Amino acid sequence: MKIFQKALAALAVAAIMFTGVSCNSNSTTSQDYIPVVTNPNMGSDRHETKLSEPVSIGDTVFTVNAAVDINHTNDLGKFIYVNYTVKNKSKKPINIVNIDSFYISYNGETKLSHVTTTQFALNNIEGYKASFSVEPSVEYTGYIGFLIPEDVKGFSFGYYVGDKTSVILCDINETDYTAPPEGMFK
């Protein structure tokens, strides 16, 4: 069953990649990202936090626990995984899809999670999920990966809450990066 789940996740990632390349006639490199817009007021209610400081918005409590440098790079940059916790205090599930729930900003650019960091995580990070629900009264801790150019020394990490009007922002500097914790990898 686990192999089937991995294969299904890999197909979903491939479908997202194919859609992004085929629908964007201006796309010429693997550096392009797929923008996802679902709310015209997206991110208008900003909540800033620091590493390890929980932020409550409605029935959601969100904490940015760490930024993990896994010491892996490709031609687009280094793989950084943000470890986070979502606590659901509501009576309804919170649906999280990595490709449009999280983003980073650096040097005036906003980037979504890159498909290569998702594929790497599905194959190598214990318990990684690309989309899931946090059930009522449950706390979930996971990772989301990003490609960071080698010359970028920090970034702002964002998590959209609920209808995405609210966003939680955390500035992360290169000096905040940690080594992978024991048990992170399969």
How many Å apart are CA 126 and CA 120, to the nearest integer?
A: 11
Question: Mean pLDDT throughout 18-27?
Answer: 40
How many Å apart are CA 162 and CA 94, to the nearest integer?
A: 8
Q: Which two tokens stand for residue 15?
A: 């479908």
How many Å apart are CA 2 and CA 18, to the nearest integer?
A: 24
Please report the pLDDT score of residue 151 as a whole number: 95
pTM exceeding the 0.85 threshold for the entire prediction: no
* 8 A C-beta contact, residue 133 and residue 95: yes
- 109-111, strands of its sheet edge to edge: 45-49, 166-173, 154-161, 102-106, 109-111
Q: With a cut of 70, say whether residue 11 has pLDDT above it.
A: no
Domain-by-domain residue ranges, the chain? 33-178
Amino acid at 5: Q
Q: Which two tokens stand for residue 30?
A: 């693997």
How many Å apart are CA 157 and CA 168, to the nearest integer?
A: 8
Looking at domain 33-178, does it have CATH number 2.60.40.1240?
A: yes
Q: With a cut of 90, say whether residue 14 has pLDDT above it.
A: no
Q: Mean of the per-residue pLDDT values for the chain?
A: 85
User: What are phi and psi for residue 44, nearest 5 degrees?
Assistant: -75, -25
**pLDDT 10s digits, 23-67:** 443 433 444 545 555 678 989 999 999 999 999 999 999 999 999
User: What are phi and psi for residue 6, nearest 5 degrees?
Assistant: -65, -40
**pLDDT 10s digits, 95-140:** 999 988 999 999 999 999 999 999 999 999 999 999 999 999 999 9
Please report the pLDDT score of residue 99 as a whole number: 85
* 8 A C-beta contact, residue 136 and residue 87: no
Question: Mean pLDDT throughout 6-15?
Answer: 42
Residue 29 has what DSSP assignment? S
- Give residue 18's pLDDT band: very low, low, confident or very high (50, 70, 90): very low
**pLDDT 10s digits, 151-175:** 999 999 999 998 899 999 999 999 9
Q: With a cut of 70, say whether residue 7 has pLDDT above it.
A: no
